[in-house]
Amino acid sequence: MMSGPIRILILGGGFGGVYTARHLEELFAESSEVQITLVSRDNYFVMTPLLFEAGSGILEPRHAVNPIRPLLKMTQFIEAEVVEIDIARKMVTVGPPHGQADELPYDHLVLALGGVTNTKLVPGTEHALTFKTLGDAIYLRNHIIQLFERAQIESDPVRKASLLTIVLVGGGLVAVELAGEVTVFMTNLSRLYSKIDPREIRFDLLEAAPRIIPEMDEDLAQYATHTLEKRGVRVRVNTRVDRIEPGMVHLPDGESIPAQTILMATGVIPNPRVSSLPLEKDKKGRVLTEPTMRAKGHTNIWALGDCASIPDPSGHPYPTLAQHAIREGPQLAKNISAAIHGQPLEPFVYQTKGTLAALGHFKGVGRIYKFKIRGFLAWWVWRTYYLFRMPRFDRRLRIVLDWTVALLFRNDIVQLDIGRENTRHPARSDKPGADGDAEHHDSAATRADRSSSTAPH
Ligand SMILES: Cc1cc2nc3c(=O)[nH]c(=O)nc-3n(C[C@H](O)[C@H](O)[C@H](O)COP(=O)(O)OP(=O)(O)OC[C@H]3O[C@@H](n4cnc5c(N)ncnc54)[C@H](O)[C@@H]3O)c2cc1C
């Protein structure tokens, strides 16, 4: 017979994990019946739709995320890396950043570890940047500013062209929103660099499919294409990337594009910690669940968000979007409670309300229910929606202040180079010349820091 509270262990502090924990707290308020634990790599959750503005400096990066602790009352939060999930032993091994690995036993396990950027599609993707985490957004902004600084003093026209060229691989929603925000950012930046003409900036968006943003109606995708083209983006569809080398993108027809910024936005695959589990999975590696979000063939394992394949009433999987993960959380919490109390479980049913994309500079595009919207209205609706989706009033206030300041003043070009600052730390090196060396390697150091603290690729 079981003694002590029932242990519910949630892995992943993104939309799925945090919303599940919050709703479990509501259902088990003040009850000692359960012990809820949430493990996540970072002590904040990322409001991904706001990452683009964090990447361009419109938003202070910290304001695009929300600290997890203040959002939870009775849940034990552990900031740690999930290292191993042992389903047979009902045990999860976690490794805190500066401590010993620890084992956490569970009675109910919630898999909410999200996804990672798909880096398997194009050989050489390791030479490209990804855009999924807060670290990615901070890194991209620093990287672009650094390239502008170098282009300003570059006398060789070929090298200068490569510094000012961005190649974005992918044409889905994330790619298009990223292109919208980065083009505006670069145009604004060029005003501060006397030797850079905005016409020297080259931006190629390469999409293998016949059109961009398949998630939206054709005419809306056309609108997005025209908007980006007016900003100088070459939107190239039916263009598959053959391979990537450092500073070079190769296409199958022999064309090569020299670019110091190569960005991958080729979609998301499930977290490898989840796709390697001995559970039933779809062909992408997402955990196949019942409509109740219970993993097939298991009574105590649940999955939601980007790492789960949850069937809708017609049997098709729901899309991997924040708007779904936010709604899956409360239903999953209800079903865990029902399972504990021996009550019937309910399926997750949700009808999408539409899709919106911000294109930067007061422009957006999308559909809400049957209504298609474009331009300023779509941009305004997008901003308002995500502002109110951000939990906690103080976060929302900070965002509104950032937006107001961005309307009144030019982009800030301060390059916050944490890697370089760190090189002065005595623990790293006291050797003469260490600064110079480190300066040379600082981007790599920043990236190494970043990749160790973000999703594995
Ligand atoms: C740039 C961008 C913009 C987007 N814009 C939109 C949008 O406008 N609208 C929309 O609906 N959707 C959008 N999405 C998709 C949306 O972000 C995802 O569908 C959503 O985040 C999925 O939620 P999740 O909880 O499953 O995963 P996530 O939010 O990714 O959370 C997973 C969590 O698990 C943690 N984690 C992962 N591995 C480990 C580990 N080994 N150990 C410990 N912790 C770990 C991560 O740090 C993270 O906190 C966007 C995605 C991106 C990348």
Using CB distances shorter than 6 Å, the residues near ligand 1 are 12-17, 39-42, 45, 48-49, 51, 81-82, 112-114, 131-132, 174, 271, 273, 305-306, 320-323, 325, 455
Annotate 55-95 with DSSP letters as a single string. HHTSS-GGGGEEESGGG-SSSEEEE-EEEEEETTTTEEEEE
What's the pLDDT score for residue 339? 98
pTM of the model: 0.89
Q: How far is the CA of 66 from the centre of ligand 1 (A)?
A: 13
Give the residue whose CA is nearest to atom 16 of ligand 1.
322
For residue 83, which atom of ligand 1 is closest to its CA?
41
User: What does the pLDDT average to over 219-247?
Assistant: 96
User: What does the pLDDT average to over 435-450?
Assistant: 35
Instruction: List the structure tokens of 59.
Output: 């938003």
pLDDT in tens, 10-36: 999 999 999 999 999 999 997 889 999
Asked if CATH classification 3.20.20.370 holds for the domain at 125-266+354-408, the reply, yes or no, is no
For residue 51, which atom of ligand 1 is closest to its CA?
1
What whole-number distance in Å separates Cα of residue 287 and Cα of residue 301? 10
pLDDT in tens, 168-225: 999 999 999 999 999 999 999 999 999 999 999 999 999 999 999 998 999 999 999 9
What is the location of CATH 3.50.50.100 in the chain? 125-266+354-408
Q: How far is the CA of 9 from the centre of ligand 1 (A)?
A: 18
Element (H or E) spanning 435, and its range?
helix 434-453
The answer on pLDDT for 142 being more than 80 is: yes
User: What does the pLDDT average to over 368-397?
Assistant: 93
User: What does the pLDDT average to over 259-281?
Assistant: 95
For residue 117, which atom of ligand 1 is closest to its CA?
53
DSSP 8-state class, residue 14: S
What is the location of CATH 3.50.50.60 in the chain? 6-41+80-117+269-340
What does each C-alpha distance from 243 to 78, 164, 247, 253 come to in angstroms?
Answer: 40, 20, 11, 12
The answer on pLDDT for 80 being more than 90 is: yes
pLDDT in tens, 287-307: 999 999 999 999 999 999 999
The answer on pLDDT for 430 being more than 60 is: no
Instruction: List the structure tokens of 67.
Output: 């600290």
Cβ atoms of residues 74 and 24 within 8 Å? no
Residue 262, amino acid: I
Contacts of 291 (CB under 8 A, 6+ apart): 310, 311, 312, 313, 347, 348, 349
Q: How far is the CA of 312 from the centre of ligand 1 (A)?
A: 20
Place of tokens 């016409």: 199
Report the b/e string of 56-75 with b at 16+ CB within 10 A. bbbbebebbbbbbeebbeeb
Percent of the chain whose pLDDT exceeds 90: 81
Q: How far is the CA of 286 from the centre of ligand 1 (A)?
A: 14
Q: Pocket of ligand 1, candidates 69, 72, 113: which has the most ligand atoms within 8 Å of its Cβ, to mutate?
A: 113
User: What does the pLDDT average to over 444-455?
Assistant: 35
**Average confidence score pLDDT of the chain:** 89
For residue 132, which atom of ligand 1 is closest to its CA?
53
The answer on pLDDT for 432 being more than 80 is: no
DSSP lists the bridge partners of residue 354 as: 368
Give the residue whose CA is nearest to atom 51 of ligand 1.
48
What whole-number distance in Å separates Cα of residue 234 and Cα of residue 164? 14
Place of tokens 């209205």: 377
- For domain 6-41+80-117+269-340, give the CATH number: 3.50.50.60
What's the pLDDT score for residue 2? 54
For residue 40, which atom of ligand 1 is closest to its CA?
44
